[in-house]
Chains A and B, each alone.
Chain A
Amino acid sequence: MSIAAIEATGLTKSYGAPSRAGGTGPPVTVLRGIDLRVAPGTVFALLGPNGAGKTTTVRILATLTEPDAGTAAVAGYDVRDERHRVRRAISLTGQFAAVDEAQTGRENLRMMARLAGLGRAAARARAAELLDRFGLYGAGDRLVRTYSGGMRRRVDLAAGLVGEPEVIFLDEPTSGLDPHSRRALWDTVGELAANGTTVFLTTQYLEEADRLSDRVAVLHDGVIVAQGTAAELKSRTAGHRLDLTLATSAAYLRLTARTPHASHHDPGARTLGLPTDGSARHVRALLDELDPAGTDVTHFAVHTATLDDVFLTLTAPGPGPGPGQGTAHHA
């Protein structure tokens, strides 16, 4: 598609610069130049560990924080110059429940609908409709304070949908949810996308990104280290993983030191996972290189790479990830 629902170029942000109140010490750089492009009606996952800059990215795109440099447009509007228009086109559901504990679910939704510009009667109807859709009809007149974690998250998400936004930002939507609630939330995200809404979500869970999103970007230390479909990302780490089980702990430590690109470590089982293309030739070469005497490795197994492997390979510290690094920055 030619027009992006979200387009960002060169976003940077640091906190604690001297101009900011309360800023002490050297500034902390959170984003070091982020480029993103999300097509309308798709689900985009920004994947990264804690502190990678996911929340800052969402806050910039949702006009709540100004970037230090770079530009971003959401729903076709500039996040800096047309922030009011952006705000009318989006909704944000953050990590912290953004509903009032001392109001009922219905009151919260009605309030949000009024703030989104709906008339009194329309707001009442919308609240009822959303309660129904999120399985909260029976709980609608109870205070949110009495809700379970899953119900709270649902009412929070519902509150983000009152104004029928074109673009929805979900910042770690499933953190702290039980598996059942998580699955229900995944279904909701799928429905939203099916109805033409663009969904931008952040997550630490690779499974979630794999399952939900059309495209994934991996954010690490303020930089997008990879971007593409889940399948493309998997192919970038050679597609397979060779797990080596070692004879002794000493051998495990020795080989760990020699393989900074390993994507899997299990000291208990003395198992080390390495990216490979899965060909007999490459597996044999790896075994010969790492265990020339043929005494350290007792067993091996080859699997298809998971998104976890991709993630760990791409974000591994040290001299460099294995296969796939060369293409990691293409976007």
Chain B
Amino acid sequence: MPDKPSRPSPALALTNPRTNACANPLTNVLTNVLTMTGRSIRLSRRNVDALITALALPALLLLIFVYFFGGAIGGRTGTRYVTYVVPGVLLLCAGFGSSSTAVAVTEDLKGGIVDRFRSLDVSGTAILAGHVLASVARNLLATALVLALAFAIGFRPSASPAGWLAAVSVLVAFILALSWLSAAVGLLARSPEAAGGYTFFVSFLPYPSSAFVPTDTMPRWLAAFSDHQPVTPVIESLRSLLLAQPPGTAPWVALAWCGGILAGAVGVAGVLFRRRVG
């Protein structure tokens, strides 16, 4: 669009450093998302308590499952329990780790910073994407720690590099979907404390699944739920991919679930954002 001739143009406008950057909207969006991601990562790094929890809890959970429960449950899983349980622990951490996105989003809405971002023409999606991508980074770090610890206590996956790549892809899809869902929850919550309550719920979702025990050991109604909730296909994919077993349709079911949750969450979060700040 041409500049209006009638527009007041103080000397500043001529040298405005932003004039060039406005030329390519796509580059602008990318810069905004990357800048927001860098911000969220810095904020996560400085929230030391939360970071320690996010990194230490997964490691503790792995040890608890392997050494406290492993002896009792292990015999029924048909493999070494550490091998059986690692995918479950990875998911448990992913659920817990992504849900802190909700708290971060709620914290943002408490102050005036979202208005400042909007007045800089940063979209709601870019703000949320920053939190979500930082969540993915945090979770991948926690995942690496859990895997390292698992190796140390005897986890020996037999996956090929392609299997690893596929497993990590499924896990990232899951983290991405849950993080964006958390962002939507963060837009609904009226306080960081309320958003924290959601963390609790998500952390429980892996229990009624095949994460820690085979579902055929559960009561029939619970097994029915466990077999059909999104966590189970994700776990089955990770397990079969890491152990180089034929994964069947599990990865596709898992990706369909994650894609569906992600699409729904992005849409809902968009609407909620406009409603909350508009």
Contact call B6/A90, Cβ cutoff below 8 A: no
Contact call A76/B116, Cβ cutoff below 8 A: no
> How many CB-defined contacts (below 8 Å) exist between A and B?
123
Residue of B nearest to A101 (CB): B111
Contact call B42/A98, Cβ cutoff below 8 A: no
Partner among A64, A96, A164, A197 whose Cβ is within 8 Å of the Cβ of B17: A164
Rounded to whole angstroms, the CA-CA distance of A3 and B20 in the bound complex is 25
Contact call A41/B21, Cβ cutoff below 8 A: no
Residues on the B chain within 8 Å of A256, using CB: none
A65-B122 contact given A112-B116, A118-B18, CB 8 Å threshold:
no
Interface centre among A88, A95, A99, A160 (most CB of B within 10 A): A88
- Whole-angstrom distance between the Cβ of A125 and the nearest chain B Cβ: 10
Rounded to whole angstroms, the CA-CA distance of A264 and B149 in the bound complex is 75
Partner among A75, A94, A126 whose Cβ is within 8 Å of the Cβ of B116: A94
Within A48-91, the residues touching B (CB, 8 Å) are 59, 62-66, 75-77, 84, 87-88, 90-91
* Binary contact track B185-220/A, C-beta < 8 Å → 1, others 0: 000000000000000000000000000000000000
Contact call B17/A99, Cβ cutoff below 8 A: no
- Whole-angstrom distance between the Cβ of A198 and the nearest chain B Cβ: 8
User: 24 interchain pairs (CB within 8 A)?
Assistant: A3-B7, A21-B275, A40-B8, A62-B119, A63-B118, A63-B119, A64-B119, A75-B8, A76-B4, A87-B120, A87-B121, A88-B22, A88-B121, A92-B116, A94-B112, A98-B112, A100-B43, A102-B47, A111-B39, A115-B31, A117-B21, A119-B21, A160-B116, A166-B13
Contact call A3/B6, Cβ cutoff below 8 A: yes
Contact call A102/B42, Cβ cutoff below 8 A: yes
Q: Does A135 contact B (CB under 8 A)?
A: no
Residue of A nearest to B31 (CB): A114
Contact call A3/B115, Cβ cutoff below 8 A: no
- Whole-angstrom distance between the Cβ of B239 and the nearest chain A Cβ: 38
Q: Does A273 contact B (CB under 8 A)?
A: no
Residues on the A chain within 8 Å of B6, using CB: 3, 76
Rounded to whole angstroms, the CA-CA distance of A97 and B20 in the bound complex is 29
* Binary contact track A100-131/B, C-beta < 8 Å → 1, others 0: 10110001000110111111001000100000
Rounded to whole angstroms, the CA-CA distance of A303 and B264 in the bound complex is 67
